[in-house]
Amino acid sequence: MATTMVYDTMRLYVGSDQYVVQPTEANQSLVIDRITRELNIVEGSSDIPAYSTSKNIYGIVGIIRLLSGPQLVVITDRVLVGEINGHLIWMITKTEVLPYARSNLHLNTQQQQDDKTYEAMLKAALEIKGLYYSTSYDLTHTLQRLYNTSAEFSSIPLAERADQRFVWNHNLLRELKHQADLSLYTLPIMCGFIAIKPVSMKGHNFTYVLVSRRSVFRAGTRYNVRGLDSDGHAANFVETEQIVEYDYTNVLSCSWSQHVNLKYKPKPKINDTNHQKLFNDHFSGQIYNYGKQVLVNLVNLTGSEGRLAYEMEQQVLRAANSNMRYEAFDFHKECSPSWSRLSVLMDRLAADQQQFGYLMVNKTASEVRQQKGVFRVNCMDCLDRTNVVEGLLAKRSLRDQLILLGILQESDKIEAQGTFDYVFRNVWADNADFISFQYAGTGALKN
């Protein structure tokens, strides 16, 4: 597991020519020259002069360059989410952007207006609910990926060994990562959702954890970004991990576009693009990262969504890949009378879920079993319908694990465990809301 630390609590001193970041747990400082823009480590604290202002900070998000010059972005407040394997997990609640330049008078009027707009955009991005970090745990990796790493992996700096698909401040960390001696100040941040809930069931205490990681590739908001880019990266890619059980979600793997308008649901337009190449590139990465795939497509099989469903099925057939299986389920049609119809889909997926299994590690951290595949679930925007089906898959895997651990009997159901069932439902509802707000600006419509 992760051993390399990033400094957790620091004192930021603001001077006219310098920013000085002094960790509380180390006798050194990071000195940022606001004029030359150099970053240097200074051992000891005796050379730090008295500054007019200072404050506690809990991490450096990074450095971004606007028209007026570089801006230092720091974490000024946070809330503890809980612990994963003994490591503290934090959600960012407040940040501050500190300019190197003491004024913007070197800019003309238009540049000043543009710079103000860019700064507002930056602050809006930093205020999004769902930015997380840990100073000692690889939040961007699943437990299975961590357990499959070499012994040398833990000696690599935290930001370097992070899965770059899920490091949302990657670009802001470039200057810090460029200098090896700054690794203990270089903090990777993920976006998505994390819930850590200590629970009790039938006299047994355990912690239920759900982690959803949003990819940085082809990131954007609903209706503005959809489909695949030229490298096969899918819009709104989310990897969801239930500890000890994992399942994953993605988006519709066919290239399409829409023009932004004021309609609630603009009709998708399929681009004249080599869909098969994009599809193959996308799933080559999926299979490499996760193993076998069951593609669960929840879009309508008629109307404008039906065309997308047809195109996706054709891509699967042409790919002829034994590591992929396609399962279409018209969520709206099947479930409009009753959501109990979802049992039909779950029955279809039962054999695959049994085959895929899950990661299980015993108390000595030795592996007992590994997960061999994932469910790649999508609806139109990978929000409401996807979350409902993923929650059902997660519940079934969790029940199997609790039976294996001797907490539940074969005749027991999660729904009958009143307190835990309430926690489970609320965690998945919160997961849907967080991802939906980040992507669409509204909460989930189905929970």
Residue 2 has pLDDT above 80, yes or no: no
Mean pLDDT of 161-166: 94
Q: What is the band of 365 on the pLDDT scale with cuts at 50, 70, 90? A: low
Q: Where does the pLDDT of residue 443 fall: very low under 50, low under 70, confident under 90, or very high at 90 and above? A: low
- Is the bond leading into 244 cis (omega within 30 degrees of zero)? yes
Are 407 and 200 spatial neighbours (Cβ–Cβ below 8 Å)? no
The CB density around residue 288, as the number of other CB atoms within 10 Å, is 8
Take residue 350 and report the two structure tokens written for it: 């039962």
The answer to whether residue 19 scores a pLDDT higher than 70 is yes
Q: What pairs with residue 378 in β-bridges?
A: 297
> Stretch 323-333: mean pLDDT, rounded?
90
pLDDT of residue 4: 56
The C-alpha angle with vertex 43 and arms to 42 and 46, in degrees rounded to 5, equals 90
Which stretch, 15-24, 49-58, 335-344, has highest mean pLDDT?
15-24
Q: Is residue 94 scored above 60 in pLDDT?
A: yes
pLDDT of residue 259: 22
Asked if residue 256 has pLDDT above 50, the reply is no
Residues 434, 212 contacting (CB under 8 angstroms): yes
pLDDT in tens, 195-228: 999 998 888 888 999 999 998 885 555 444 455 5
3-state secondary structure the chain: CCCCCCCCCEEEEECCCEEEEEECCCCEEEEEECCCCCEEEEECCCCCCCCCEEEEECCEEEEEEECCEEEEEEEEEEEEEEEECCEEEEEEEEEEEEECCCCCCCCCHHHHHHHHHHHHHHHHHHCCCCEEECCCCCCCCCHHHHHCCCHHHHHCCHHHHCCHHHCCCCHHHHHHHCCHHHHHHCCCCEEEEEEEEEEEECCEEEEEEEEEEECCCCCCCCCCCCCECCCCCECCCEEEEEECCEEEECCCCCCEECCCCCCCCCCCEECCCCHHHHHHHHHHHHHHHHCEEEEEECCCCCHHHHHHHHHHHHHHHHHCCCCEEEEECCHHHHHCCCHHHHHHHHHHHHHHHHHHCCCEECCCCCEEECCCEEEEEECCCCCHHHHHHHHHHHHHHHHHHHHHCCCCCCCCCHHHCHHHHHHHHHHHHHHHHHHHHHHHCCCCCCC
- pLDDT of 1: 43
pLDDT of 364 strictly over 80: no
Average pLDDT (106-115) is 95
Contact 132, 81 (CB under 8 A): yes
Q: State the pLDDT at residue 314.
A: 85
How many Cβ atoms from other residues are within 10 Å of residue 330's Cβ?
A: 17
Q: Is 112 a residue whose pLDDT tops 90?
A: yes
pLDDT score at 305: 80
pLDDT band at 230 (very low <50, low <70, confident <90, very high): low
The answer to which of 66-80, 82-96, 124-138, 383-397 has the lowest mean pLDDT is 383-397
Q: Which of the residue ranges 28-37, 94-103, 309-318 would you say has the lowest mean pLDDT?
A: 309-318
pLDDT-based confidence at 367, cuts 50/70/90?
low
* 50 class by beta-carbon count within 10 Å (0-12 exposed, 13-18 middle, 19+ buried): exposed
Domain boundaries in the chain?
10-185, 220-440
Average pLDDT, the chain: 84
Is the pLDDT assigned to residue 156 strictly greater than 80? yes
How much is the CA Rg of the chain, to the nearest whole Å?
Answer: 24
Segment among 245-249, 402-406, 417-421 with least mean pLDDT: 245-249
Is pLDDT of 84 > 80?
A: yes
Residue 404 is predicted with a pLDDT of 86
The mean pLDDT value for 269-289 works out to: 75
Q: Categorize the per-residue pLDDT at 435 as very low, low, confident or very high, splitting at 50, 70 and 90.
A: confident
Taking only the tens place, the pLDDT of each residue in 172-203 is 999 999 999 999 999 999 999 999 999 988 88
In this model, does residue 127 exceed pLDDT 60? yes
- pTM of the complete model: 0.87
247, 394 in Cβ contact below 8 A? yes
Confidence category of residue 37, pLDDT binned at 50, 70, 90: very high
Q: Are 168 and 189 in contact (CB under 8 A)?
A: yes
